[in-house]
Chains A and B, each alone.
Chain A
Amino acid sequence: MAYKRQIDRLPIIPADAKKHNVVCHYCIVGCGYHAYSWPANRQGGTAPGSNAFGVDLSEQQPAETEAWYAPSMYNLVKQDGRDHHLVIKPDKACSVNAGLGSVRGARMAEMSFSEARSTQQQRLTDPQVWRYGQLQPTSWEDALDLVARVTAAVVEEQGEDGLIVSAFDHGGAGGGYENTWGTGKLYFGAMKVKNIRIHNRPAYNSEVHATRDMGVGELNNAYEDAELADTIVAVGTNALETQTNYFLNHWVPNLRGSSLSKKQEMMPDEPHEAARIVVVDPRRTVTVNACEIEAGKDRVLHLPIRSGSDLALFNAIFAYIADQGWVDRDFIEASTSRDAPPRPPLYPERGVSDAKPGHLTSFEAAVEGCRLSLDEAAAITGLDPADIVKAAEWIAQPKAGGKRRRTMFSYEKGLIWGNDNYRTNGALVNLALATGNVGRLGGGVVRMGGHQEGYVRPADGHVGRPSAYVDQLLISGQGGVHHVWACDHYKTTLNAHAFKAAYKKRTDMVKDAMSSVPWGDRELMVETIMAAIRQGGLFAVDVDIVPTKIGEACHVVLPAATSGEMNLTSMNGERRMRLTERYMDPPGQAMPDCLIAARLANHLERVLREAGRASYADQFTGFDWQSEEDAFMDGYHANAGGGEHVTYERLRVMGTNGFQEPAVGFENGRIVGTERLYTDGNFSTADGKARFMDAPWRGLQAPGKTEQQAAYRFLINNGRANQVWQSAYLDVENDFVMERWPYPFIEMHPEDMAELGVGQGDLVEVYNEAGATQAMAYPTPTARRGETFMLFAYPTGVQGNVVNAGTNELVIPNYKQTWGDIRKIADAPRNVRTISFKSKEYSVD
């Protein structure tokens, strides 16, 4: 049976309920919500005066009403130790989402920890340690003492390189400015840890080094620009599923033509039409379908390129628009470097070093360096040359009266986790710079984003570039202690099969050693752990809000608080910074990550002093924060650009609209922000001039990809589903989601399925030389033969198992270009037989 809650009414929010500002803690878009809470023994009524909406709730409310909330938006949680009703509902006054809730964010309340309603009972409530052969609860003092002693001992023997760290670097849940600062001050301030990686990639690096090297920060426009553009270019982004309300609230109005009056008002001296859109994606997505519905098929150009050939497409468009003269000469002269240094000696195969896989140069040199003919690009991408020309026209051909076309370029994981990340990113930014589409209304060249952002840390230059390939260090037996902050590599890394095998072996050595000595003898325990580490073992500490797959291998597990259980600040994909206010208690003894980092620093300082290492101990001072606000003031307020204008008190006043970073002042009780970057034509380089990139095509760049493509029958493309947030770490306990996707789907053409003897819902094995995993076959007539798409990072079938270890020079993983074979494992199990396998595309036919 389809999952039904059997809820036929909900408690009504009383007129005097508390109301807190909330920003959805899942995706980059950061939709505005409000949390309403009131004591468990009270309720509002249907009369206008007795509910928070001031309307008569005994009447049916209309579509898009503010006076309704779904059962998923309701829960019973603890506030100051007492049960309270909680409703978290979208905010109509927030400019980001205008009252829209996505299938992820609109479940925030239901995904909260509730003992009364038994939701998220998986949440970690107490520190746990490996004691008597299993994880057992203990006190913070006990757990942190052990972590500090083992960490100090490893650092003493191996130096700080013996401490390997995996840590979030983003905003939203499992991140935010408070927590990136807390962990950053510990590892980059007190220590200079360089063997560190991020939650979704095996190194500490930018996903978009290229655009930054070119002087163009990757979040440079405003969401409003999607309403103003003549053309939107969407590369490797399935925005309807993964940046849902940005798409619905800002792209759709332009595609539909309903933002026309706004365009005419803001840009009166040029002709305007509804937007056109170019979608570059090997797969037909629900985003393509929605664009066709809204704009009409004749205004949507879906370019279903061969997987990994984006760079060739962009380079051909670049040459074509340059040859046509469809470029912004004034902008190029005024705002980009006219300097064209010679190519590095091994170019185009290699850059001057692995740190610089591209070559920064002038517009003219970039055009010639990148040049591909339409026919060459067509051969590489599999596209019709006429469609490449059409894309070039939609991107750059001047409008009536010779007016410059306003084109917004957006990209995400299809490019970021795709072939030759650096050059492909650079080649797309080339198009934006050539057409003058940065820092202007209706423009921008922006990543769409995954999580919100929330990065403020001490300088990280010591990490180096390229930074260490941390997974390879762990696999090859290096390091002695691993601190893991809200990362689950068992689900979200590449080469996951090999990683898990090595990691389990190393951590098991330490577990077995720990089980051989009594818990209470701390000195002996540390000595025993160290002996195991010297034999190749690894001591692992996991800080998270829920039990994770990698956490099963760990020796200490520390419970963290999440957004709403603490005050938390982040910024979204247009740099919009807001404060989510604390509206409920964290479970048990859970604490904000920033305070966990601070208490760990306190323990390290104590342990080091006791060991007589006073000067090293001194480095661990400055962690006397008692609240997340202390960490915010020490971090963001004191260190972020414009941070001096920003406090919790001011952010509370700014509500769910907040301000767009960087803050540039505080006037009339409001923080003054920055809607768009680079409006003055000065870019983020030493001389203020943006750079073009000479970025020629060089085939499948990452090691092993060409061979894999040749060896296996199916492309195992991979990505997200709208119902699931990240690695499903909370969704795994949500019946609504898990009933829909008990196993990761793999979209396959029905004829491919027939040839393999696979029926809908059958469990299949996906395998190649890197590993094997499982998925549930989802017949998809729009899929191309031989090209599949598998849900990424899912707990019941980890796609990363079959992604090989190959990365680009800067250690950016290449998840998307994966090939494998597929064979049937079993008929659809019971929990699959009841689910729908119909097309995900909206249709009225």
Chain B
Amino acid sequence: MARCSKLVDIGRRQFLRGGAAAAAGAAASVAAPGPGRAATPGARVDYPSTRLANLSELAPNEPLYVAYPDDQAPGVLLKLGQRVEGGVGPDGDVVGFTTSCPHKGFPLSYSAASRTFNCPGHYSVFDPERGGQQVWGQATQNLPQYVLRVDGQGDIYAEGLDELLYGRLSNVL
């Protein structure tokens, strides 16, 4: 099981409605070994380049559950069907986000109807079509988004994050 068990065990019924079933697929990704430890630590953490999926696995507006930068950090890839901020792929519409709410770490669920991530803990709402902007809520960060790259075979790699993930004081543990 790739997701942090404590997160899943929160047991909010809304979460179960929202997407726990899909979470079982999260193990698909395997963190690639990071670059070798430098003699002097860098100013930023060294992010692994991790293959999360292939474009062919994505269906429009259906979340594909992944993990990045390690298997303790649940996330999602989304093909939104229209070009958006941070979007990659031939249509510029593929994005990736953490699914841990940056407020209190509850697992977000995806609403396909409104195309938002929703937090059952304290009702925060995030918009993946606007770079993860918090539409409304209690987090003091917008939703951490993956820096994605797509190679010639359509493989989607995550290679960084733009905000601190919940529950860790370093994005790479």
Q: Which residues of A come within 8 Å of B, CB atoms?
A: 1-10, 12, 57-65, 68-73, 100-103, 106-107, 110, 240, 244, 248, 286, 289-290, 293, 722, 736, 739-740, 834-836, 838-845
Contacts and interface: CB of A to CB of B under 8 A. Distances in A.
A63 B167 CA distance: 7
B130 A842 contact: no
Given A9-B169, A60-B72, A739-B133, 6 more contacts: A1-B86, A3-B133, A8-B161, A61-B168, A839-B116, A842-B120
Interface size class of B (residues with CB under 8 A): 35 or more
B135 A840 contact: yes
Contacts of A835: 130, 133
Nearest to B131: A2
Contacts of B45: 8-9
A843 B104 contact: no
Interface of B: 4, 6-7, 10, 14, 17-18, 44-45, 47, 72-73, 85-86, 100, 102-107, 109, 111, 113-116, 118-125, 127, 129-145, 161-164, 166-173
Nearest to B138: A103
Nearest to A12: B169
Given A9-B164, A290-B123, A1 B113 contact: no
B136 A834 contact: no
A65 B10 CA distance: 12
B168 A63 contact: no
Contacts of A106: 138, 140
B139 A103 contact: yes
B26 to A, nearest CB: 14
A14 to B, nearest CB: 12
Contacts of A8: 44-45, 47, 161, 164, 170-172
B138 A71 contact: no
Contacts of A64: 104-105
A103 B130 contact: no
Contacts of B105: 61-65, 68
Given A106-B140, A844-B17, A845-B111, A68 B124 contact: no
A63 B106 contact: yes
Contact of A4 (B6, B113, B145): B145
> Among the interface residues A2, A9, A722, A739, which one has the most CB atoms of the partner chain B within 10 A?
A2
A4 B140 contact: no
Contacts of A836: 127, 129-130, 133, 135
B7 A63 contact: yes
B19 to A, nearest CB: 9
CB-based closest 3 A-B pairs: A2-B131, A62-B6, A63-B105
A9 B43 CA distance: 10
Contact of A842 (B103, B119, B140, B161): B119
B113 A843 contact: yes
A279 to B, nearest CB: 15
A835 B137 CA distance: 15
A70 B135 contact: no
A70 B129 contact: no
12 contacts: A4-B141, A9-B45, A10-B169, A60-B167, A62-B7, A100-B122, A107-B140, A740-B133, A834-B131, A836-B135, A838-B114, A840-B135
A3 B136 contact: no
A70 B164 CA distance: 7
A844 B18 contact: yes
B17 A60 contact: no
Contacts of B138: 100-103, 106, 244, 722
Contacts of B129: 836
Contact of A736 (B85, B107, B109, B142): B142
Nearest to B6: A62
Contacts of A6: 162-163
A845 B109 CA distance: 10
Contacts of B143: 2
A103 B172 CA distance: 25
B138 to A, nearest CB: 5
A450 to B, nearest CB: 19
> Among the interface residues B107, B135, B173, which one has the most CB atoms of the partner chain A within 10 A?
B135
Nearest to A70: B140
A834 B6 CA distance: 35
A1 B169 CA distance: 24
Contacts of B142: 2-4, 736
B150 to A, nearest CB: 20
Contact of B164 (A7, A248, A843): A7
B31 to A, nearest CB: 13
Contacts of A63: 6-7, 10, 100, 104-107, 121, 166-167
A730 to B, nearest CB: 13
B122 to A, nearest CB: 6
A61 B135 CA distance: 26
A432 to B, nearest CB: 29
Nearest to A736: B140
A240 B141 CA distance: 18
A740 B134 CA distance: 8
B140 to A, nearest CB: 4
Contacts of B10: 63
A289 B125 CA distance: 13
B109 A844 contact: yes
Nearest to B143: A2
Nearest to B71: A60
B103 to A, nearest CB: 8
Contact of B114 (A293, A834, A839): A839
Nearest to B101: A63
Nearest to A843: B111
Contacts of B131: 1-2, 4, 834
Nearest to B122: A248
A318 B169 CA distance: 55
Nearest to B139: A103
Contact of B123 (A110, A240, A838): A240
Contact of B132 (A2, A102, A290): A2
A68 B116 contact: no
A840 B126 CA distance: 9
Contacts of B85: 1-2, 834
A102 B172 CA distance: 26
Contact of B125 (A4, A65, A839): A839
Contacts of B111: 843-845
A304 to B, nearest CB: 20
A4 B123 contact: no
B148 to A, nearest CB: 15
> Among the interface residues B121, B130, B143, B164, which one has the most CB atoms of the partner chain A within 10 A?
B164
A10 B168 CA distance: 9
A59 B173 contact: yes
A107 B18 CA distance: 29
A843 B114 contact: yes
A566 to B, nearest CB: 25
Contact of B136 (A2, A286, A844): A286
A838 B134 CA distance: 10
A239 to B, nearest CB: 12
A2 B133 contact: yes
> Among the interface residues B72, B109, B170, which one has the most CB atoms of the partner chain A within 10 A?
B170
Contacts of A722: 136-138
A9 B17 CA distance: 33
B13 to A, nearest CB: 10
